[in-house]
A and B are shown apart, each in its own frame.
Chain A
């Protein structure tokens, strides 16, 4: 590539980037740029994935409302077939801030139980209740004596940590519901790291592909934590033989903790993108269960099914450079998994603009990927560090276009919101037409997406969408 591109601020491999992040060298200095979710959000995401739970937000009405609109109504009710569930709130006002809200919280737990008859109440503290020092844990213990279900408390103040700490603490809390095992469920696992409830009802989603493959092998699932699981399933979570995750990043903490505390082995595998990673994922689960032979049979059968697609991908991609950018949705870990898959098909992967902030937040997962040999070339550009988040898209679009021009035979793996001068493989998760991307069915879909990109590379791109995203260009 053209080394003279002056928009590049980092060019190295993942290991080198990690080192710079660890030493604080690559963390953006601008306070106002890049604001991901707060701890409260991700805590809520996880807790809302349990059936018949009342997430009781101990704070003013602003905190739960994004959750009730986005998670409860849009995601759960509209897409995932979940009935309308409460997003309860103590609606703290000025008086509560001055005099404390513990009494109100205790009454709120009783009211929540009387109104919703839940299997579980989880108190989620917000900035207000955290700062004024309301002792939510003591209130939870006290309240549990007064109602007919478990009451847990989670310190999820927005200022109290990054988005990672929110889901990690929520998963950790869920462990309190897990009872000592009475039996061992043979050939049964938990899937860890889910949130928001079950998978979308009308989509053939990644989690469904995992369930399908496990079912083919004969492996049963006790609970998908917390992807629509019940409190009862969580109670029995320690009776499984093994834990696995659908996304290493989200499942890792709970997997490690359950291994440490309960001695339940945790299958550490990356995301099942492409044949090798899928094989690894399935064997990583089946082998400890003594079901390796069954898994191999399934893998062979499935590989035979997708042989034409694998051959196509090898032929079509060999010798190319894949510029991989999934900087926002659906996340950097997917970008790194894609880089691994791309290399398997003979492409040289270059990951562009994985935000150092997200590297910092996902440090354990990044280290795991490095340990498992995923160490792609990384490029970060100046636009990534500009003020604001949306305007930087304009900068990074320009920079991406320049960088792509510097490579021979490039292909872009990202989403169709980018307009580089090369074929674009639209790997967004927002298009239900080509899901799942995981597993063997994912290979078929990715092959279809690559075919579309290559065969239609000369078709005109949308001036409308480009203008919408980046403004009208005069030059």
Chain B
């Protein structure tokens, strides 16, 4: 299924000379926290000033941690520690929490302590004999890159520190990589769908990197036969490392994630081929497509008359790239703007390939920020925007009919996680479009007052 890379990207890279940006992506520290908090029975200690704790809190919420189970701590560095170094206070803080009933304490360093040269690795090594849990330092200062770089940094540390080499391969097994590098605000539902699919195919999940993952599972990750990357934005380095070090073959590489009918079929088929479960995969496709069509027939969504309406997609690559086909095929709209938060070469190659096969030629913005998004919306003037709450406000005054909030939602709220992957995912996306369509029709003013 792996395809040849496209040599010449159709659109240029985002300008590297930009000095003033209004970014969508958080920093490496946030991405590392998001990854560390996916390890169960652990705690996280931010070696940082107290403000960085809020980046941890954001990660805590995204990983759906429970404060009854997971504790986050902070060394609250002040001027003194920046001038004289913060290693003493880090050691003191670790000693304060030495009785926590956990299996690991992740120690994450932020910008300040890394610039002044605090040696968190050294402190952790020194204190390891004093504590009953594993100390895992992750050097992930915010300036090291975006949240996706932070995810890669943390995965690298976790794999190198924890994975046992002397394990036997388990047939028909897989490890899942970077499910949390996904802008679906309830991404654990995507992960749950993947696990359900694998279970039906008889494929054992050795470990998930990371979401509610026990350390014991990570230790045994080398026993996996294959890896499955669940993000187009982060985790490829981990997949490459597992491949190079433990011979873990990456499956479904180079194809869009399973959002929409065609993408899901393609992804399931690739999985079925690899794990000798093609018949099961075909059954799942047939059942799923039948279910989606029957559900639509029964629920009768009215938002289906958007035929060739100009649309924009502003998202991460994980959701954004597969959405291109969903918007074009299932919804019959015409993507005229695709703006992705990231600009790595694999992302560009994947999108270009999708656009080429679909025969689309939209304006493409890689590594977009809020300013570029607003300007692109002004230029393209789409009628429908698939994006976030930011695009709802960035579209003001541009006569955009519908803004379908599918990523980074601030206004909407879901108590039940909803996947975008797979067949229920199609219905969830349709529901987003339908609800926005309904709201678009709602009368905003009354022509006269009632008598009662």
Contacts and interface: CB of A to CB of B under 8 A. Distances in A.
Chains A and B form a bound pair: yes
B51 A84 contact: no
B439 to A, nearest CB: 15
Interface stretch (A64-72, A291-299, A429-437): A64-72
Contact of B23 (A56, A61, A157): A61
A131 B112 CA distance: 7
A41 B26 contact: no
B67 A159 contact: no
B23 A158 contact: no
B78 A35 contact: no
B19 A90 contact: yes
B97 interface: yes
A128 B111 contact: yes
B148 to A, nearest CB: 11
Contact of A61 (B19, B26, B82, B110): B26
B81 interface: yes
A159 B20 contact: no
Interface stretch (A104-112, A217-225, A368-376): A104-112
Nearest to B95: A31
Nearest to A60: B142
B272 interface: no
B23 A84 contact: no
A61 B50 contact: no
A387 interface: yes
Contacts of B78: 159
A41 B54 contact: yes
A131 B96 CA distance: 28
A87 B22 contact: yes
Interface stretch (B153-161, B212-220, B240-248, B389-397): B389-397
A458 to B, nearest CB: 29
B27 A36 contact: no
Nearest to A115: B371
A177 interface: no
B26 A62 contact: yes
A32 B143 contact: no
Contacts of B55: 62, 65-66
B425 to A, nearest CB: 25
Nearest to A86: B22
Which of A31, A111, A388 has its CB near the most chain B CB atoms (within 10 A)?
A31
Nearest to A42: B51
Interface of A: 30-32, 35-41, 56, 59-66, 68-69, 73-74, 77-78, 83-84, 86-94, 96-97, 104-105, 107-109, 111-112, 115-116, 126-128, 131-132, 157-161, 387-388, 390-391, 471
Given A31-B92, A62-B29, A391-B67, 17 more contacts: A38-B52, A61-B146, A65-B26, A65-B30, A69-B408, A73-B390, A83-B396, A84-B390, A87-B370, A107-B19, A111-B19, A127-B111, A127-B112, A157-B49, A158-B49, A387-B97, A391-B71
5 contacts: A41-B51, A69-B408, A94-B143, A115-B371, A388-B72
